Amino acid sequence: MSEVNVNEAYQEGNGAKITSTSKEEIDQSEDVKEKRSPAAEDQDEEDDVQLSAFTMSALQEFVSEQLEREQRRQQAEQLAQDAAKDPDQLADFEEDWQLSQFWYDDATCRVLASEALRLAGPSGRVACLSSPTLYRHLRKVRPPELKLTLFEYDQRFSVFGPEFVLYDYRSPLDVPGDLREQFDLVVADPPFLSEECLTKTAVTVRLLAKQHILLCTGAQMAPLAGRLLGLHECRFRPAHANNLANEFRCFASYDLDSHVSKGTT
């Protein structure tokens, strides 16, 4: 064989060898890609199980929320039906602490209601601002011509029809225009003991009040009550049926104490 042929044969053979080896390497690489270790497969299965558990939890939470909404809807319908008969039968609403609700005791209701009747007269107007306990009591003792309006966030009280106005202290200007400066007395009880809550409630009080103001709130709010509404602290101490731990006070734009009997101070 000539030198040229030998070289060509060598190159061809070597080239074939290189080509063969490269193909084997490629095949092995593909096998590596396709084959996975048992540990890797187990991890995938574990991830699937974890995902399924998460999905199940989310589904259960969704179903629970739907059931709760449906229960509330049914309760609202029942309340509306009962209200059509006699809304005062619904006066036993429980406090909703989520809304920072604390009902007054009977003695406090009597004092505040007596003042409301005295100041408004038999045919005046009284606004209960975040004060549903007083509103319910006044419904029981008011003269037929006395006009009451409850401004309240808790929509359970919507059963009282047109006397209920949905109120959120965070939107202090959002009150009907025809009710501005229409009330002989505004009794306010802001739901939270914070500067923001009292400041915004005070804006609403000024919009509604024609003359007299009573404010029931924590003792620590005294400076702000004086600065925002010109109110002074009274000797009369409002109290709650469930013994609220905070020091609670009454603030007035007039001399409340001179009209409150000693037995209730």
The pLDDT assigned to 86 comes to 56
160 closest CA partner among 88, 81, 77, 76? 88
Distance CA 85, CA 137 (A): 19
Q: Is it the case that residue 194 has pLDDT exceeding 50?
A: yes
pLDDT mean over 196-205:
98
- Which tokens hold the place of 21? 């080896």
- The predicted model gives 84-112 an average pLDDT of 69
Residues in Cβ contact with 99 at an 8 Å cutoff, skipping those fewer than 6 apart: 153, 154, 191
pLDDT score of 141: 95
pTM, two decimals, is 0.66
- Inform me whether the pLDDT recorded for 13 exceeds 90: no
pLDDT at position 157, please?
A: 86
Q: Give pLDDT tens digits for 44-70.
A: 555 555 557 778 888 888 888 788 777
Lowest mean pLDDT among 72-76, 79-83, 120-124, 191-195: 79-83
Q: How far apart are CA 223 and CA 201, in angstroms?
A: 15
**What digits encode the pLDDT tens for the residues 15-43?**
444 444 455 554 555 554 455 555 555 55
Proportion of the chain above pLDDT 70, given as a percent: 66
Instruction: Of 222, 132, 236, 128, give the one whose Cα is nearest residue 184.
Output: 128
Above 60 in pLDDT, residue 1?
A: no
The backbone region for 21, taken as left when phi is positive above 0, alpha when psi lies in -120 to 50, beta otherwise, is alpha
Give helix 195-208 / helix 222-229 axis angle, nearest 10°: 30
The answer as to CATH 3.40.30.10 being correct for domain 100-261 is no
Confidence (pLDDT) at 241: 81
Higher pLDDT, 42 or 189: 189
Q: For residue 161, what is the enclosing H or E element?
A: none
Tell me the average pLDDT across 235-250: 84
256 or 84, which is more confident: 256
